[in-house]
Amino acid sequence: MYDALQAWRETLAALPVQEAAGLRDGKTALVIVDMVNGFLTEGPLSSPRSASVLPACENLLREGLGWGHAPVMFADRHDPDCIEFQSFPPHCIRGTSEAEIARSLREIGSDLNPRRNWDTTAIVIEKNSTNGAITPEFQKWLADNADVTRIVVCGVCTDICVMQFCLTLKTLCNQADRPMEVMVPVNAVETYDAPGHNAELCGSVALQLMAQAGITLVKEIVY
């Protein structure tokens, strides 16, 4: 197991970088997953590891706002009696500060709003499960942006919400014979350490599963 993990570390270290200029083709969009306070700075599921990718996500949002398609920002938001709390501790309850997107991202995307107007301002999509790809709002965004052939994904957690979104997006597009490159900059995704949940192991396995499913991994996006 150690040898396999070390070999994968070496593979990740050798990943190429992606020039931002190559994403300014009018066919690329950005998705930011769950960069909310409840996973970054407060609450039972918050983690300094998760918070560490905030600067990379900030840079991606600044860049992605100029790509010509509305960047999507998923926000985990639940009612107090949410059924997901049978699997995870109560978190990101709607109306609390845990459910708010990180202030620095909100300041960059000063037009962030729930209006669903599908223009070139960033939009927020609330999700009540770990998988944002199955929300009606995202599926409408995907249908309304039929010219998008590449989606760059960043955020948390690598092995839960990010992986589920990427795998579902890829398989939805495969099923519809829709060309879609799903790209994950490894420096802009992270997961948490907890008893029974080793962040490096779980994150590494998730990245490997995504790569095997045809998702493009890059070391980072450079500007």
Closest by CA to 206, choosing from 162, 152, 154, is 162
Q: What is the pLDDT of residues 19-78, one digit of tens each?
A: 999 999 999 999 999 999 999 999 999 999 999 999 999 999 999 999 999 899 999 999
Residue type, 194: A
Dmax of the chain from CA atoms? 49
Q: How far apart are CA 44 and CA 105, in angstroms?
A: 22
**Full-model pTM:** 0.94
Q: Is 147 helix (H, G, I), strand (E, B) or coil?
A: coil
Q: What is the pLDDT of residues 75-107, one digit of tens each?
A: 999 999 999 999 999 999 999 999 999 999 998
Would you list the domain boundaries of the chain?
Answer: 2-222
Q: In this structure, what DSSP letter does residue 103 have?
A: H
pLDDT of residue 118: 40
Model confidence at 121: pLDDT above 80: no
Give the pairing type, strands 28-33 and 181-185: unpaired
Model confidence at 116: pLDDT above 50: no
pLDDT of residue 164: 98
Task: Place 117 in a pLDDT band, splitting at 50, 70 and 90.
Answer: very low
Burial of 117 (0-12, 13-18, 19+ CB in 10 A): exposed
Q: What is the pLDDT of residues 47-60, one digit of tens each?
A: 999 999 999 999 99
pLDDT of residue 187: 98
Q: How far apart are CA 180 and CA 174, in angstroms?
A: 8
**Where are any strands of DSSP class E within the chain?**
18-19, 28-33, 72-76, 123-127, 150-156, 181-185, 189-190, 216-218, 221-222
Q: What is the pLDDT of residues 198-223, one digit of tens each?
A: 999 999 999 999 999 999 999 999 99
- What is the mean predicted confidence (pLDDT) over 131-136? 98
Q: Is 19 helix (H, G, I), strand (E, B) or coil?
A: strand
Under CATH, which architecture does the 2-222 domain have? 3-Layer(aba) Sandwich (3.40)
